[in-house]
Structure 1
Amino acid sequence: MSEKILFTDLDGTLLNSAKKVSPGMQLLLSKMVLAGNRLVLTSGRALPSVLKVAKNAGLLFPDTVIIAANGNEVYDCDTKTFLMRKSVPIEIAEDIISMAQEESLYLHSYSDTCVVAPKDGVEVKHYCSRTGMEYQVSDDLLKTIGHAPCKLLAIDMENHGRLEAFRSRIQEKYGDKISAIFSNPIYLEIFDKTAGKGNAVRFVCEHFQIPLSNSVAAGDAENDISMLQAAGTAVAMANATPEVKACADFITQQDNDHDGLSEAILQLFEM
């Protein structure tokens, strides 16, 4: 049997609405890995949050890597080192933060351990309740972080149009250097153009010397499209957006609350 590799998004794909991996899914993934395949959790979340999910769900298998922060980071869980790490250039991050401040738009970033937020408001409380991360408040995000940020995240819980307009401003000014895409309607992910889940998928396949044709990627949102396009087989969840379904080879019948991902695993992986 030739080794295959599954890249799966977390929120809206592997995780249910309670932000958990079901016991049945955990058993199926363990069986898949024990049969000689690989699992790579591939998320827009920051690394500490993805690691917490993996640990709590019992998915930290030997020789595991994780893709975090929308493909900005590829992390080796055994050696506890980054195989790849990209960031938003400091001067661009400073300008985008200023643009958000001009529009009174909430925007946070990340230190190596927590969310760094501009205020202690509903946005950061909502985000951290969903991801299990800690946060600290700072009036100088970049000074607190101490290095170029892995990504920025703008949140508007009531007006998606404001985020769309902000994305347009970013694309107009930095479209050749920065990606700005939605992971859900209230989160606008802002990161280096050379990162992204698709490029991370290619990197990991090359690292493990697995042909892209032996890779499967599963997701539900706009920030998953690049990895679905990069992988040999693209899986869209039943709850995925129309844009994600349009680039899929396989669409699950069930959604993320009913282990829809298991349909693809059972059909596409030998166990």
Structure 2
Amino acid sequence: MRTYAGIVFCDVDGTILPHGEREVSSDFFALVEEARQADFLVCISSGRFHEALLPLFSPVSSKVVFSASNGCRVLYQGTELFPNHGIDRPLAEQITSSLHAWGATALISTTDAICLPTVAREQLKAKSYLAKGYTRFFDTFSEVPGDVLQITAVCDGNLPTVLAKSREAWGSAFHVVTTGKEMFDICPTSKGISLRAISEHFSVPITHTYAFGDDENDIPMLEAAGKGYIMGNAHQGVKDREFEHCHDLIGTIRKILAKEIEKC
């Protein structure tokens, strides 16, 4: 197995993709190649479902690590690096029912699909993931296919209330973290745990890892890395922490690579 001099971990929404953007820039793909030439690996670390990530990064999909669903599923060159993290189905069903009772919609990421209750089809029809081939609708939880990885609560103006109830109910067992203005994830693992596992797998010291993110679900990754950077448009709760600010993702990573090359 190849080892690397360092690893760069990048969040997607709000980091690689500025809010409102839907396509990864060619500059980022060029950066992946530059990183490899500097003996660095790039990890795409996202709360997104793995099949939502692969098409976004198709030009470099065999050259990066994908840490999807906040680290629940980690893929490299089409192979799972570690056993998946997941939520037991009885508990996942309970969480789903509670979220619906509290006025939120449960978006369930499994090993097979993203699953949504049929009653949410019209409410969320404007969301891009509804048009994807990996979306499934269910009337009863028994119709949800595959192993449950994480559950995302999609709120409608009531995020603070639903988030508080969720943290009280499941915060001791799961990472319950915001991942957008009206969404939060209930996840059995974190991007930070994923960062440490990936770094160990490729024999890269933590001091040679760099992380970039913008929201609450990125905090464990930013804290676990040798150095964490927050984007200029980061969530205020992330900005309040002592991470270095980054206003140019590609430029900052290029400077990191240049310094590493100088050391060699």
Q: Tell me, what secondary structure is at the counterpart of 1:7? A: strand
**Structure 1 residue 31 displacement after superposition:** 1.1
Instruction: State the 1:65 CA deviation.
Output: 2.3
Which residue number corresponds to residue 169 of structure 1? 165
Q: How far apart are the structure 2 equivalents of 1:183 and 1:117? A: 18
Q: Deviations over 1:223-247 (max 9, x none)?
A: 1111000000111111112322333
Aligned residues: 253
C-alpha contact 2:87 2:149 (8 A) present in aligned 1 = yes
Tell me if 1:65 matches 2:65. yes
Map of 1:87 onto structure 2: 86
Q: Is the 8 A contact 1:235 1:248 kept in 2?
A: no
CA–CA distance in 2 between the matches of 1:248 and 1:236?
Answer: 9
After superposition, the Cα gap between the structure-2 partners of 1:127 and 1:248, relative to the gap in structure 1 and judged at 3 Å, is farther
Q: Which residue of 1 aligns with 2:241?
A: 247
SS of 1:39's equivalent in the other structure is strand
1:142-188 CA-partner distances (Å, limit 9, x unpaired): 532243x10111112x40xx222222222222222122111111111
Query: After superposition, where does 1:123-138 map in structure 2 within 5 Å?
Result: 123=124, 125-128=126-129, 134-138=134-138
2:50: which partner in 1? 47
Give the aligned partner of residue 108 of structure 1: 107
Preserved contact between residue 115 and residue 133 of structure 1 (Cα < 8 Å):
no
Q: How has the CA–CA distance of structure 1 residues 225 and 218 changed in structure 2, closer, same or farther, with 3 Å as cutoff? A: same
User: How far apart in 2 are the matches of 1:248 and 1:150?
Assistant: 31
Match of 2:254 in 1: 266
Opposite residue 106 of structure 2, the aligned amino acid is L
With structure 1 as the length reference, what TM-score do the two structures score? Answer: 0.85
Change (3 A) 1:242 1:5: same
Q: 1:216 to 1:248 in 2, by over 3 A?
A: farther
The answer (yes or no) to whether the contact 1:7–1:218 under 8 Å persists in 2 is yes
Tell me the SS of whatever aligns to 2:194. Answer: helix
Aligned to 1:35: 38
Residue aligning to 1:185: 181
Flag the 1:133–1:37 CA change in 2: closer, same or farther, 3 A.
Answer: farther
Following TM superposition, where does structure 1 have runs of at least 4 consecutive aligned residues deviating by more than 3 angstroms? 131-134, 246-249
Q: 1:84 is paired with a residue of what secondary structure?
A: coil
TM-score for both structures, normalised by structure 2: 0.88
Aligned residues with identical type, % of pairs:
23
The CA deviation at 1:134 is: 3.5
1:98 Cα deviation from its structure 2 partner: 1.4
Work out whether residues 4 and 215 of structure 1, in 8 Å CA contact, stay in contact via their aligned partners in 2. yes
Name the structure 2 match of 1:211: 205
Distance 1:116 1:34, change over 3 A: same
Q: CA separation of 1:163/1:127 partners in 2, compared to 1, >3 Å: closer, same or farther? A: farther
Partners of 1:117 and 1:124 within 8 A in 2: no
- C-alpha offsets along residues 252-271 of structure 1, whole Å, 9 cap, x if unaligned? 23xxxxxx201320222235
Is the partner of 1:150 in helix, strand or coil? Answer: strand
Q: One-letter code of the match for 1:14?
A: I
In structure 1, stretches of 5+ residues that fail to align are 254-259
Q: 1:248 to 1:39 in 2, by over 3 A?
A: farther
Superposition RMSD on alpha carbons, in Å? 2.1
Cα distance between partner residues in 1 of 2:142 and 2:177: 21
What is the rounded CA distance, in whole Å, between the counterparts of 2:209 and 2:15 in structure 1? 17
CA contact (8 A) 1:222 1:244 kept: yes
Structure 2's unaligned 5+ residue stretches are none
Say which is worse superposed, 22-31 or 209-218, in terms of deviation.
22-31
How far 1:140 sits from its partner (Å)?
2.0
